[in-house]
Structure 1
């Protein structure tokens, strides 16, 4: 697999989007979020998504430069209609507004609907953490095609409905969680299929309800909820709450609409730490907690304990230094698209 440095990958991604008539400002935001996902090691949410986004634009399912509408608000809440714009663009602005409101009201929340794929969820609560706040976001896929079976079932009825929280600290890398309520993100199964790799047992069931390690069997089958075939009722319960906050509360609803259009719904919160205690003291104590966890004696076969988010911090440092590995199939797609769009060869050759 080729290794491509982050700056070059971001430049190529921006150029592809701009050549497909995405406004330059939006192309920068989408490219930044995608490459940031690759840097953190979440390749399933990185530039592998770009060909899909271009296809959705052609189908009219993503509208570059879409208007951004506040349909209802109060001093502490905002309801946002993304009008089918890029989810990265819509959601980043929504979190910025939520943070600004929380600066004066101490806590603020927003719902977002009618937007495209929002990518790696942690990107948004990390914005709040950088502003000295605790940030949280939950997302679902509205009435888009589903991928996750309810606990005990074999047919997909729910989205992966991920959840992310980030908190401020003085750590070298941010402390956060970013997790699907399914056993794994659908993108990771697709990534394994693209790389010709098998997947762990307990991630998916095939169309007949049998566990499978073949990522291609998810077609006609489904992802399992977090916890897999034995403890999946926990992830299932979380997914249902996510469906309510992001599908029902936003007005998107549940189930699948015939168009197949991807329409992420989101619920986000920003909490001002200083409404409860000194921010510097809080950040220091979060850092102390992380170090306390790091100091845990390792179990047999373990390389030690990391705080939540530390593995992404380490991966980013490594990939910024050595470049980002891109699977051959994805790189070929990007190169072919660049050729079709007649982009300068220095962006993708050599």
Structure 2
């Protein structure tokens, strides 16, 4: 197996783009998807980074992921937009959908955008960052159509996906607030990364295929002795479970993308539905109060003395910004198993392993 490496972002992006081109993407699409994946690694979210490429290649070869496919508008009534991702790369159709929603929010003050049937959207925080960069607030509810890996509260097996929720809020002359989290205790991809690196999960994160607590991340990554899989737990007990269900109902049912309610299969494709609400504070008429109150509240938070054993108060988005600075300087570390999987994916499309 190939050795683990530490690689600079531009070189990694070039290698990933080459694989995606050989898998059928145009140069423009391959560069866009590769840049998005590498940004996830830079942000400290290796679960949504280049380790997804082997799955994407498999999904293309299976026919479930359609390279060079754009989002199609199915409804446009002004402040309401509905789009069909047509199983194109989520990093492409998701950006297309958000660009339309952002433009519409600037035009009329707000936009409710429903995107269904996008292949894996990747890090949802990317779409919130698009909005806050334009001075807009955005709220995202997302569901996951793939092998169900998260157990309902008091349930003993996987019934739905990691169903992320994300909220982006611009802060004038400050770095924005970008809250982006899976409604499972950890993202599924983090368990893949932990399994590949030979690490254990935190107690209370997982159940095995018999519904018993375990710290083995492999239970949601590889088939278990009885042929099944374990499951992730939701965060916050019944509260996180409730939010996960809301993401399924809003991101899946309301968008038209669909919900998961069937036995698992072995397909490698991952589909997302996303309901996004984008608001222009200027058009809402509260911009001055919003700016003042938001900054005063953030300052109030950050004046709290550091708790014992901590470095002090952080805001959502701070860890990602710190990780980007460090990883752009020091490089991105990729474990041996993940690097080997990327090499195998390259071989599948006719490229030599890295």
TM-score by shorter chain over 0.5: yes
Q: Supply the distance in 1 between the matched residues of 2:344 and 2:69 (Cα, whole angstroms).
A: 27
Of 226, 236, 243, which aligns to 2:235?
Answer: 226
Inter-partner Cα distance in structure 1 for 2:216 and 2:46: 19
Q: Deviations over 1:213-252 (max 9, x none)?
A: 111123521111112xxxx100110011111101111221
Instruction: Say whether the 8 Å CA contact 2:193–2:338 is kept in structure 1.
Output: no
> Comparing 305-314 with 280-289, which one deviates more in the overlay?
280-289
State the partner residue of 1:195: 197
Contact 2:70 2:92 in 1 (8 A): no
SS at match of 1:93: helix
TM-score in terms of structure 1 length: 0.91
Structure 1: distance between partners of 2:50 and 2:292: 35
**Conserved 8 A contact 2:70-2:93:** no
Match of 1:155 in 2: 157
Structure 2 residues without counterparts, runs of 5 or longer: 224-228
- Note if contact 1:145-1:256 (Cα within 8 Å) is conserved in structure 2: no
Match of 1:164? 166
Aligned length: 341
Counterpart of 1:85 in 2: which secondary structure?
Answer: coil
Instruction: Work out the CA distance in 2 between the residues paired with 1:169 and 1:106.
Output: 18
Q: Equivalent residues in 2 for 1:65-80 (5 A)?
A: 65-80=68-83
Paired residues of 1:127 and 1:135 also in contact (CA < 8 A): no
Worse-matched range after superposition: 326-335 or 274-283? 274-283
TM-score, normalised to structure 2, is 0.90
- 2:226 corresponds in structure 1 to none
Pairwise CA RMSD of aligned residues? 2.1
Structure 1 CA distance for aligned equivalents of residues 347 and 23 of structure 2: 13
Q: Distance in 2 between matches of 1:17 and 1:255?
A: 31
Residue equivalent to 2:302: 294
Q: Does 1:61 align with 2:67?
A: no
Whether 1:45 aligns to 2:48 is: yes
Shift of 1:294: 2.4
Q: How does 1:54-203 map to 2 (within 5 A)?
A: 54-142=57-145, 144-170=146-172, 173-203=175-205
